[in-house]
């Protein structure tokens, strides 16, 4: 039984008390009569009368049971002999047993022996020590399931007839579900961690105080923090210092209310840059609602933040202009719903913007004006004509004032109204004082009506004698509000301090005064004005008043501020650039320069102040070219000294203002790294990285150049093409590092041999070439080639390994009287190389015209093969294989034939070169295999037993490392067992291009049940090593040995050796080309397994196979 190692003991001793006395009163009767418990090893059941023997008096027991059954958790009372005396309903429910099944019994009668022993050990410990013990233990209940319990055991003594009697009170808490929940929680946390680390956003968790408890991998990648650095309060270090306090307050406030929050702040990236992120936190609660902290995600919104900043700036400009307007601008949609309105409306009406939008503004209309106003507005909406009306509006203080509303519609390209733009103007004072103002307006009409400036006439007591509306608009006040009040009261506090002494002086002298100052409107907005003050004198010369003319220059001031901000922004931008940025005026003096160029230190200076005379003069000439031409000038310059060298690229363009060229703007960039990189790229583009030799591209360029020189000087050009013999074996045996080292040594030795006579190039892999640009005679080319062959016969020693570095070479030379292109010369050299390798390698072959004819034959064969594939001319013929001992059919070999529309059935010899061509060889093999598998499927469906059908695989089919998978996939698709198929290969597939894939393919096929046959055995190379390396089930003796074995002792010996080899290795042998009974008999006597040839049957089309099988009677006439 599993038990927790956590044991809790009480320091209380088991002494009689009220509790023990109470239990004695309830359960004293009968307790002394309980017999000793059976030993754990005793499997006899307890007597059925056990329960009745231990029951106390009914009246006391009923009370006690009622009390115990009221407890929600299981409780059990045991005596010193481990007998169950009392248990409540919860205990019975936990055990799944009734009291009749348990009372009077002991642990071995209820639970498995191992659990009972553990229970008794704990009981005895508590009885002995008298101290409480808390244990985690398992209980096997009636249905066989196991519950995990937290058990608390306590010993008590109860007075009995024979003295104090010990009892054990066992209180139990079933913690099975809580443990399962903990396990589920751990699994859930693991899933969360995996999901979080795969998420495209930064995910984190914290406790209620904000200490980080988890961040995902993306957080660590973005910030560059380690996991340990990010935990606790470490995540705060990644926040921008200006944002930390704000984010902390957001978190504290949200945590206090245990509610979600959202914050945007800047986060330091691993490269030191700052990213704007939006962080969304969701509170986490336990199942009982306890707040555990937050889980959140952070998303990079840098680009969005930048876009929003630009939008906010635009909106602020708009809002600023709207809120400064003394009228109340507003915007409505085509249906007349207000979409936006000036803050001035909200201030005057005491309504929020949201309350005003839509039709909310109409709530302020005077009841008498509501219906006519809305009717006129509806008419305007319907007609699209301008809207102009007057009405009364209720202000925030409850009073009504007259306003004039005007609006006009904006239409889209189709003429449909998309917006209404309007304004509401307070005309209340105008209406009330219309009569009083009319006379005054007549006097000032000429002056006031035409002016765009504000004019105010005050007397000595600041009483308004005359004021125009523009001045009122500037100040945001009515004329009455200005009466008796000094304009100083509306002046910006910062301007009063310096203006007060100035006005005091001029009030004394009466001299006119001009200044720029700021006024503060009632709504708090500020307006800049250019103010001219002149003094009015009476006939005595005494000053009796002032006339103040104010021009609103806020727009100009705002433009100046924007210009300053733009200039500062421009300066910050160009200062942050690594390039040198400068601006010169027409005289050549620097007007702007970024910090990289020298900043303010160079302003006002010219090039002669900063650079040597020769450079300064050059820069001046460049500037004059730009000023004269009005176009861009781009110059690259090179500077070098003893320590380093530098390339600088400078671009100069005209600096224009109002279509006039006023200077030069220049940007200079250090392009040294780019130039050096370009030099490296140029070298890499023309050289082989491993050997540092010219590559194919440079080699072709040099051939072209040599041809050009030869045409002028009547010289001849020679060319050698070569590759390393068996280089693949070096790679396979020693690895690619040794192969690379070998190629470098080979290239070095090749360069030593050629010397100055020509140029050596590596064309790729183990392919090299030598260009001889000045050949005196045809003998010069073989001379160089033979010198190379001689030097390469000496092995190359690398890291203690002796490596064969012999090579095959093909050569050619131009003939003056025959025009030839560089490409044709390369093809001649390649043809000569091809012939060298076909001749046995390590030889030199000079190009001959006959080689071209052979090449043309190959090309013609490839063309025919391509047509055979394209037009579906490929057909399989089948030749039977016969068991020589029994005469039974052992299977068939599928032989490739192709049906020409004019000449009929053709043998594969006519298209033999196609089998070495990767694309054609694979296409032919796939088509042949598809036909054969269809025939096999048809025969299987017809119940025809054919034995194994052999198909031939060419070397081209192994050049893609998926041959085995493709064959097995096709067998699976057609439902053909692998035991029906045999794959035949020749030894050539082990030696050519793609041979590295052969072993894996054959092993996979053989492992799946496909038989592997080695065809034409004995005609290739290293046959025995192939039998050891590759999974071969069948050897096929080539027909060339079988046909003459009766008369040629050598052929007979080969046949005998192959048969002996097959018998010793447990490999079956098939003899091909049997044409006579004597040959069949001789092979059977030599214990050859199978035979194939015209003696048994010529190859037949698939349609004849069933008839042949039915007619074959296992004849054996040899």
Q: How far is the C-alpha of 68 from the C-alpha of 89, rounded, in Å? A: 8
CA atoms within 13 A on the CB side of 892: 27
pLDDT tens track for 75-112: 999 999 999 999 999 899 999 999 999 999 999 999 99
Kindly report, as residue ranges, where domains of CATH 3.20.20.450 are found in the chain. Answer: 873-1111
In this structure, what DSSP letter does residue 28 have? -
Kindly report, as residue ranges, where domains of CATH 3.30.450.20 are found in the chain. Answer: 18-174, 180-300, 307-430, 433-554, 577-675
- Closest listed residue to residue 4, CA positions, set 154, 137, 140: 137
Which is it for strands 759-764 and 84-87: parallel, antiparallel or unpaired?
Answer: unpaired
Report residue 994's pLDDT band, with 50, 70 and 90 as the boundaries.
low
Report residue 44's pLDDT band, with 50, 70 and 90 as the boundaries.
very low
CATH superfamily of 18-174: PAS domain (3.30.450.20)
Determine which of 1-5, 284-288, 385-389 has the lowest per-residue pLDDT on average.
1-5
Summarize the confidence of residues 453-464 as an average pLDDT.
85
Q: Which residue has the tokens 């200076």?
A: 605
The predicted structure's pLDDT at residue 790: 94
Instruction: Write out the two tokens for 78.
Output: 């045991």
Give me the percent of the chain exceeding a pLDDT of 90: 57
99 burial level (CB within 10 Å; 0-12, 13-18, 19+): middle
The predicted structure's pLDDT at residue 3: 37
Determine which of 230-244, 326-340, 1018-1032 has the lowest per-residue pLDDT on average.
1018-1032
Task: Examine the pLDDT at 56 and tell me if it is beyond 70.
Answer: no
Kindly report, as residue ranges, where domains of CATH 3.30.70.270 are found in the chain. Answer: 688-847
411 against 854, higher pLDDT: 411
Tell me which fold the domain 873-1111 belongs to: TIM Barrel (3.20.20)
Summarize the confidence of residues 783-791 as an average pLDDT.
95
Summarize the confidence of residues 37-44 as an average pLDDT.
37
Which is it for strands 767-775 and 874-883: parallel, antiparallel or unpaired?
Answer: unpaired
The predicted structure's pLDDT at residue 1022: 44
Determine which of 189-198, 346-355, 508-517, 734-743 has the lowest per-residue pLDDT on average.
189-198
H helices of 755-803, in order, are 780-792
CA 775 to chain centre: 58
Report residue 613's pLDDT band, with 50, 70 and 90 as the boundaries.
very high
The predicted structure's pLDDT at residue 893: 97
Q: How far is the C-alpha of 746 from the C-alpha of 724, rounded, in Å? A: 9
Cα Rg of the chain (Å, integer): 53
Q: Which CATH class is domain 180-300?
A: alpha beta
Task: Examine the pLDDT at 39 and tell me if it is beyond 60.
Answer: no
Q: Residue 570, SS3?
A: helix
Instruction: Write out the two tokens for 576.
Output: 């942050």
H helices of 12-112, in order, are 18-27, 50-53, 58-69, 89-95, 99-102
CA distances from 863 to 479, 868, 912 (A): 104, 9, 12
Report residue 1071's pLDDT band, with 50, 70 and 90 as the boundaries.
very high
Report residue 429's pLDDT band, with 50, 70 and 90 as the boundaries.
confident
Q: What is the pTM of this model?
A: 0.38
Summarize the confidence of residues 973-1000 as an average pLDDT.
84
Summarize the confidence of residues 128-146 as an average pLDDT.
92
The predicted structure's pLDDT at residue 432: 74
The predicted structure's pLDDT at residue 20: 35
The predicted structure's pLDDT at residue 437: 62
Instruction: Write out the two tokens for 207.
Output: 């406790």
Q: How far is the C-alpha of 924 from the C-alpha of 872, rounded, in Å? A: 10
- Considering the four listed CATH numbers 3.30.420.40, 3.30.360.10, 3.20.20.20, 3.30.450.20, the one that applies to the domain covering 433-554 is 3.30.450.20
* 1098-1110 b/e (C-beta count within 10 Å ≥ 16 → b): ebbebeebeebbe
Q: How far is the C-alpha of 863 from the C-alpha of 868, rounded, in Å? A: 9
Question: Does CATH place domain 688-847 in 3.30.420.10?
Answer: no
Most confident residue range from 789-803, 911-925, 1007-1021: 789-803
Strand partners, 667: 581, 651
In this structure, what DSSP letter does residue 46 have? P
Distant-in-sequence contacts of 702-706, Cβ < 8 A, 24+ apart: 702/759, 702/761, 702/771, 702/773, 703/771, 703/822, 703/825, 703/826, 704/822, 706/771, 706/773
60 against 879, higher pLDDT: 879
The predicted structure's pLDDT at residue 257: 94
User: If residue 949 lies in a helix (H) or strand (E), which one and from where to where?
Assistant: strand 948-952
Number of neighbouring beta carbons within 10 Å of residue 345: 22
The predicted structure's pLDDT at residue 57: 45
CA distances from 772 to 753, 785, 991 (A): 13, 11, 33
The predicted structure's pLDDT at residue 991: 62
pLDDT tens track for 746-763: 999 999 999 999 999 999
Query: Are the C-beta atoms of 624 and 607 separated by less than 8 Å?
Result: no
Task: Examine the pLDDT at 7 and tell me if it is beyond 70.
Answer: no
The predicted structure's pLDDT at residue 84: 94
Report residue 435's pLDDT band, with 50, 70 and 90 as the boundaries.
low
Q: How far is the C-alpha of 843 from the C-alpha of 850, rounded, in Å? A: 18
Q: Residue 191, SS3?
A: helix
Give me the percent of the chain exceeding a pLDDT of 70: 89
Tell me which fold the domain 577-675 belongs to: Beta-Lactamase (3.30.450)
Query: Are the C-beta atoms of 215 and 202 separated by less than 8 Å?
Result: yes
3 burial level (CB within 10 Å; 0-12, 13-18, 19+): middle
Which is it for strands 387-394 and 464-467: parallel, antiparallel or unpaired?
Answer: unpaired
Q: Which residue has the tokens 């876009």?
A: 307
**Chain mean pLDDT for the chain:** 86
Residue-by-residue DSSP string for 464-523 = EEEE-HHHHHHHT--HHHHTT--GGGGB-HHHHHHHHHHHHHHHHH---EEEEEEEE-TT
416 burial level (CB within 10 Å; 0-12, 13-18, 19+): exposed
In this structure, what DSSP letter does residue 1103 have? G
The predicted structure's pLDDT at residue 973: 96
The predicted structure's pLDDT at residue 47: 37
Q: How far is the C-alpha of 342 from the C-alpha of 318, rounded, in Å? A: 10
CATH of domain 307-430: 3.30.450.20
Summarize the confidence of residues 874-897 as an average pLDDT.
96
Strand partners, 1069: 1035
Instruction: Write out the two tokens for 74.
Output: 């299981």
pLDDT tens track for 325-349: 678 999 999 999 999 998 889 999 9
Q: How far is the C-alpha of 356 from the C-alpha of 365, rounded, in Å? A: 12
pLDDT tens track for 314-326: 566 556 655 666 7
Report residue 5's pLDDT band, with 50, 70 and 90 as the boundaries.
very low
Task: Examine the pLDDT at 905 and tell me if it is beyond 60.
Answer: yes
Q: Which residue has the tokens 């005289």?
A: 587
Determine which of 699-703, 709-713, 1052-1056, 1114-1118 has the lowest per-residue pLDDT on average.
1114-1118
């Amino acid at each position: 039984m599993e038990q927790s190692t956590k044991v809790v003991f009480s320091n209380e001793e088991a002494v009689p008390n009220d509790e023990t006395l109470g239990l004695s009163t309830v359960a004293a009767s009968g307790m002394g009569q309980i017999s000793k418990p059976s030993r754990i090893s005793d499997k006899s059941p307890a007597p059925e009368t056990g329960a009745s023997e231990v029951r106390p008096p009914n009246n006391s027991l009923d009370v006690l049971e009622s009390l115990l059954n009221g407890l929600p958790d299981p409780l059990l009372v045991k005596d010193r002999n481990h007998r169950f005396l009392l248990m409540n309903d919860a205990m019975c429910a936990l055990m799944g047993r009734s009291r009749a099944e348990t009372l009077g019994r002991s642990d071995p009668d209820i639970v498995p022996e191992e659990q009972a022993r553990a229970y008794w050990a704990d009981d005895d410990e508590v009885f002995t020590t008298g101290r409480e013990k808390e244990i985690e233990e398992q209980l096997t209940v009636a249905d066989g399931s196991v519950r995990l319990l937290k058990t608390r055991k306590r010993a008590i003594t109860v007075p009995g007839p024979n003295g104090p009697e010990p009892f054990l009170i066992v209180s139990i808490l079933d913690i099975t579900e809580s443990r399962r929940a903990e396990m589920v929680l751990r699994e859930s946390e693991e899933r969360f961690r995996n999901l979080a680390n795969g998420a495209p956003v930064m995910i984190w968790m914290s406790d209620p105080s904000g200490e980080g408890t988890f961040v995902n991998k993306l957080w660590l990648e973005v910030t560059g923090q380690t996991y340990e650095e990010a935990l606790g309060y470490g995540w705060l270090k990644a926040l921008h210092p200006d944002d930390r306090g704000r984010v902390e307050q957001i978190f504290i406030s949200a945590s206090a209310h245990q509610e979600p929050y959202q914050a945007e702040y800047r986060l330091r990236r691993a490269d030191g840059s700052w990213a704007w992120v939006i962080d969304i936190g969701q509170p986490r609660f336990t199942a009982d609602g306890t707040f555990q902290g937050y889980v959140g995600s952070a998303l990079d919104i840098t680009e969005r933040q930048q876009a929003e900043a630009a939008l906010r700036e635009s909106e602020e400009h708009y809002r600023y202009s709207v809120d400064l307007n003394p009228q109340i601008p507003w915007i409505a949609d085509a249906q007349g719903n207000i979409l936006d309105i000036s803050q001035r409306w909200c201030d005057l009406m005491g309504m929020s913007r949201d309350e005003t939008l839509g039709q909310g503004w109409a709530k302020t209309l005077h009841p008498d004006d509501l219906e006519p106003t809305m009717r006129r507005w509806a008419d305007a909406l319907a007609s699209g004509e301008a809207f102009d009306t007057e009405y009364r509006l209720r202000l925030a203080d409850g009073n009504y004032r007259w306003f004039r509303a005007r609006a006009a519609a904006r239409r889209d390209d189709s003429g449909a109204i998309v917006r209404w733009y309007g304004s509401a103007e307070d005309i209340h004072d105008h209406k009330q004082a219309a009569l009083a103002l009319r006379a005054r307006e007549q006097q000032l009409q000429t002056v006031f009506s035409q002016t765009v400036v504000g004019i105010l006439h005050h007397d000595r007591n600041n009483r308004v004698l005359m004021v125009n509306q523009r001045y009122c608009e500037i100040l945001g006040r009515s004329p009455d509000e200005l009466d008796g009040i000094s304009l100083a009261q509306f002046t910006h506090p910062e301007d009063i301090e310096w203006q007060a002494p100035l006005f005091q002086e001029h009030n004394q002298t009466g001299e006119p005064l001009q200044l720029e100052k700021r006024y503060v409107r009632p709504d708090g907005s500020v307006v800049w004005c250019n103010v001219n003050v002149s003094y009015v004198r009476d006939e005595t010369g005494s000053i009796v008043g002032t006339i103040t003319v104010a021009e609103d220059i806020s727009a100009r001031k705002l433009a100046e501020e924007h210009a300053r901000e733009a200039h500062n922004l421009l300066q910050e931008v160009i200062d942050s650039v690594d390039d040198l940025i400068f601006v010169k005026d027409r005289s050549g003096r620097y007007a702007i320069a970024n910090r990289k160029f020298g900043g303010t230190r160079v302003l006002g200076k010219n090039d002669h102040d900063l650079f040597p005379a020769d450079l300064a003069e050059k820069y001046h000439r460049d500037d004059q070219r730009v000023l004269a031409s009005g176009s861009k000038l781009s110059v690259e310059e090179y500077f070098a000294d003893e320590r380093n060298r530098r390339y600088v690229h400078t671009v100069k363009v005209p600096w224009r203002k109002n279509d006039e060229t006023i200077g030069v703007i220049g940007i200079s960039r250090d392009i040294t790294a780019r130039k050096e990189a370009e030099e490296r790229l140029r070298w890499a583009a023309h050289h082989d990285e491993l050997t540092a030799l010219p590559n194919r591209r440079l080699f072709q360029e040099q051939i072209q150049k040599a041809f050009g020189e030869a045409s002028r000087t009547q010289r001849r050009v020679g060319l050698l093409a070569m590759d390393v013999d068996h280089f693949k074996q070096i790679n396979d045996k020693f690895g690619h590092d040794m192969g690379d080292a070998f190629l470098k040594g080979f290239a070095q030795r090749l360069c030593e041999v050629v010397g100055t006579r020509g140029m050596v190039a590596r064309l790729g892999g183990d392919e090299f070439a030598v260009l001889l640009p000045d050949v005196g005679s045809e003998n010069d080319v073989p001379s160089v080639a033979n010198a190379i062959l001689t030097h390469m016969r000496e092995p190359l020693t690398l890291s203690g390994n002796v490596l064969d570095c012999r090579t095959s070479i093909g050569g050619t030379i131009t003939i003056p009287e025959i025009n030839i292109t560089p490409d044709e010369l390369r093809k001649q050299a390649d043809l000569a190389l091809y012939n060298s390798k076909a001749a046995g390698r390590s030889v030199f072959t000079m190009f001959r015209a006959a080689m071209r004819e052979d090449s043309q034959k190959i090309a013609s064969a490839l063309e025919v093969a391509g047509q055979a594939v394209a037009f579906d001319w490929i057909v399989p013929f089948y030749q039977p294989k016969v068991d020589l001992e029994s005469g039974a059919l052992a299977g068939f070999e599928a032989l490739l034939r192709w049906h020409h529309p004019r000449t009929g059935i053709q043998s594969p010899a006519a298209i033999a070169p196609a089998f070495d061509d990767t694309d054609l060889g694979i296409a032919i093999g796939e088509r042949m295999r598809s036909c054969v598998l269809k025939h096999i499927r048809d025969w299987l469906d017809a119940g025809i037993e054919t034995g194994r059908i052999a198909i031939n695989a060419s070397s081209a089919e192994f050049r893609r490392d998926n041959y085995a998978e493709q064959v097995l996939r096709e067998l699976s698709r057609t439902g053909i067992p692998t035991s029906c198929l045999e794959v035949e290969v020749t030894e050539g597939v082990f030696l050519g291009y793609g041979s590295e894939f052969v072993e894996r393919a054959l092993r996979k096929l053989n492992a799946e049940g496909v038989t592997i046959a080695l065809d034409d055995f004995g005609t290739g190379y290293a046959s025995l090593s192939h039998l050891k390396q590759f999974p071969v089930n069948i050897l096929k003796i080539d027909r060339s040995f079988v046909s003459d074995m009766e008369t040629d002792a050598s052929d007979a010996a080969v046949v005998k050796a192959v048969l002996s080899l097959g018998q010793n290795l447990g490999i079956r042998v098939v003899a091909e080309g049997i044409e006579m009974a004597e040959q069949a008999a001789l092979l059977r006597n030599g214990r050859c397994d199978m035979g194939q040839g015209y003696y048994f049957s010529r190859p037949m089309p698939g349609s004849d196979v069933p008839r042949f099988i039915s007619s074959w009677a296992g004849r054996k006439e040899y």
